[in-house]
Copies of this chain bind each other. A is one copy, B any other.
Amino acid sequence: MPSTTDSSTGEPLHRRRPQRLRVQNFFVSRDGIAAGEDQSLERPFGHVDPGPLTEWAGATDSWPNRTDPGGSRGVDDHIVRDFTHNIGAEIMGSHKFSPFRGPWTSEDWKGWWGDDPPFRTPVFVLTHHLRPSFSLSDTTFHFLDASPSEALRIAMDAAQGKDVRLGGGVTTVLEFLEAGLVDDLHIAVAPHDIGSGLRLWSSPTDFEDGFHHESVLSPSGMEHHFFWR
């Protein structure tokens, strides 16, 4: 007898909901800064030290890059668990993929994530400088010179009924929001100010137009903001 449930979600197939475009575990400072300027090979977040923005996630049991046991299994972990759940593809901007600008001078660069990237789905990198697709472990990187809506259509097809993660960076998230394409956002606000850099928002209320919005304060000190249509 064929299974009537989705192997990823355990949900009955006849109740499968429409696909969504989701921003998850997106980190900003209390003053809305997501990354620094002057990104380089040595400093993927530019002048901003990402440690204070990301340490809450690295402390959880479910953090994809975690290698040590002993991670927390409270509210932060329940949120981080969603990184892979029902995700069938990712879209990312070129600056998330690489520190290089302009045409590729070699194809040696394969992303920041080593031989075993945490995505484990097709990943679509938006760039004006195309290069051939390649695979590392269970992740395949494709390069697209496309509008947000075109990229989303391609990624939704590749996701085979699952959702698509919009992985950032901040410029890419703002472009997809501007185009009205984002269904869910989870933004994790750290209790630190940075002052200058690439800004997601002046205030969380900037994103409330067309979205439900709620926030919760975690024991880690993070304020998690959720937006959904």
A interface, CB within 8 angstroms of B: 3-5, 7-12, 17, 61, 69, 72-75, 78-79, 81-82, 84-85, 87, 116, 120-121, 137-138, 184, 186, 212, 214-219, 224, 226, 228
Contacts and interface: CB of A to CB of B under 8 A. Distances in A.
Contacts of A11: 84
Contacts of A9: 84-85
Given A3-B138, A138-B3, A218-B216, A82 B72 contact: no
Nearest to A80: B78
A75 B8 contact: no
Contacts of A217: 216-217
Contacts of A228: 61, 72-74
Contacts of A12: 116, 120, 137-138
Contact of A10 (B84, B116, B212): B84
A226 B10 contact: no
A219 B215 CA distance: 7
Contacts of A73: 184, 212, 226, 228
Contact of A82 (B8, B69, B81, B214): B81
Contacts of A116: 12
B78 A82 contact: yes
Contact of A216 (B5, B8, B75): B75
Given A75-B214, A224-B75, A10 B82 contact: no
A5 B81 contact: no
Contacts of A215: 219
Given A3-B138, A4-B138, A85-B85, A74 B216 contact: yes
A70 to B, nearest CB: 10
Contact of A4 (B10, B84, B85, B137): B137
Contacts of A120: 5, 10, 12
A221 to B, nearest CB: 12
